[in-house]
Structure 1
Amino acid sequence: MTEPLVQPRTINLAFTGASGAQYGLRLLQCLMAAGCTVNVMVSRAAQVVIATETDLKLPGSPQAMQEALTEYAGARPGQLLVFGREDWFAPPASGSGEKAPLVVCPCSTGTLSALATGASNNLIERAGDVALKERRQLILVPREAPYSEVHLENMLRLTRMGAVIMPASPGFYHSPQSVSDLVDFIVARILDHLGLPQDLMPRWGEERAKGKRGDQG
């Protein structure tokens, strides 16, 4: 018997300076809709990317950013928390904090390098280091092309450490009709890995299985 999906209470979500801000923002909306509490971390480069790729302009201070993202994602009061880049007292900064998964979406190749080498120069890098040392779930969503040998070596090293590398490479077998459909393809895969229910995208073979059940009815 397949075990039911277990919904995590808290998710740590980091935005870094790779292209693909739409993936992280859509994921944030879905996590809010799923009732999760989300600890958000945003790098300086990510702020620039978000402003370039979307209509969302995030203010500099964590409190003001929290208010902006709460409104954007439709979060309940207290459901979304934003932590500063050097807030070493934030829950994701310590192994004694809540055992929450960490998703870095999008994940820059600079962040890949920092995590692969154990750098902890800011809260995002420290949160990744904690996830690795505590053997917590770590999902990294790079968006780069082509990958250099250094990038590939870092991804291999992180995979061997237990991280999941999930490049923002959407499929086309679901016949996407819009850019949003392509974004949802990746977000659905992330939600699946987090054990969260999602109806953004049918799982492989799901429609065929439904059809068979319907024929038997």
Structure 2
Amino acid sequence: MSGGNWVVGITGASGAVYGVRLCQVMLDQGLDVHLIVTEAGWRVLHDEMGWQASKRKEMLQEHFGGRTGSFEHHPIADIGATVASGSFRTKGMVVIPCSMGTLSGIAHGSSDNLLERTADVMLKEGRKLILVPRETPLHAIHLENMLTLSRMGVRMIPAMPAFYHRPSSIEEMVDFLVGKVLDSMDIEHSLYRRWGDNDE
């Protein structure tokens, strides 16, 4: 299992549950998570998962506290946070889910907030950067931005469910995608049945 610090970003795209579940699995494995949530991300956490955005500290503690690993939340406007510096060592960063606005900001190096700045750090330091874009349909600008980042070595893992493992619940569909992300992070897991594995 690959250890160390990882940065996880949650944006305002639909699919906040993916980011929450990834953090929980990582923390349960003893990994350290640096979490950045955009303002739109907090809105989606409220709309899709019932989080109270006015009680952010309490919500984070409720869903991520008391696990083996540690987590630290960095406010989106804190451009001076540790993760904004290349001298702060991390294994890499995952933006899950990743909105098209955030993806565009990363592709063009705008660094308008802490999440975009941290992603820019991953690019300049040659660390892993994994994006989970969640939008449909996609137009040419979306695709061109993805291609720009892909050519720079960014891993694109669209939020696309699979059905060969015959999921019987939304939770199993979420775990499949989170498992695919963990694969790209080189983190061992058993969240879904792999192709070729038997049912036993």
The TM-score with structure 1 as length reference comes to 0.87
Query: Which stretches in structure 1 are left out of the alignment for 5+ residues?
Result: 1-5, 212-217
The residue correspondences of 1:5-44 to structure 2 (distance < 5 A) are 6-44=1-39
Question: CA offsets, 1:73-125, max 9 Å, x none?
Answer: 24449811001112223222011111321000000000110011001110000
Q: Which amino acid aligns with 2:49?
A: T
* CA spacing shift, 1:9–1:75, aligned 2, 3 Å: farther
> Are 2:115 and 1:124 equivalent residues in the alignment?
yes
> Are 2:78 and 1:83 equivalent residues in the alignment?
no
Q: Which amino acid aligns with 1:91?
A: T
Q: Which amino acid aligns with 1:188?
A: G
What displacement does 1:181 show?
1.1
Task: Give, in whole Å, the separation in 1 of the partners of 2:111 and 2:66.
Answer: 29
* Secondary structure of residue in 1 paired with 2:198: helix
The residue correspondences of 1:61-210 to structure 2 (distance < 5 A) are 65-76=56-67, 79-207=70-198
* Secondary structure of residue in 1 paired with 2:36: strand
* CA spacing shift, 1:70–1:124, aligned 2, 3 Å: same
* Secondary structure of residue in 1 paired with 2:73: strand
What displacement does 1:49 show?
0.7
Task: Give, in whole Å, the separation in 2 of the partners of 1:87 and 1:100.
Answer: 21
Question: CA offsets, 1:156-176, max 9 Å, x none?
Answer: 000001100100001110101
* CA spacing shift, 1:178–1:77, aligned 2, 3 Å: closer
What displacement does 1:206 show?
3.3
Aligned residues: 200
What displacement does 1:204 show?
2.4
Query: Which stretches in structure 2 are left out of the alignment for 5+ residues?
Result: none
2:44 is aligned to 49
Task: Give, in whole Å, the separation in 1 of the partners of 2:157 and 2:102.
Answer: 14
| Cα contact 1:29–1:73 (8 A) shared by 2 | yes
| Cα contact 1:34–1:196 (8 A) shared by 2 | no
| Cα contact 1:91–1:98 (8 A) shared by 2 | no
| Cα contact 1:18–1:46 (8 A) shared by 2 | yes
| Cα contact 1:8–1:195 (8 A) shared by 2 | no
* CA spacing shift, 1:170–1:150, aligned 2, 3 Å: same
RMSD between superposed Cα atoms in Å: 1.8
Q: Which segments of structure 1 move beyond 3 Å, counting only runs of 4 or more?
A: 74-78
Task: Give, in whole Å, the separation in 1 of the partners of 2:175 and 2:68.
Answer: 26
Identity of aligned residues (%): 44
The TM-score with structure 2 as length reference comes to 0.94
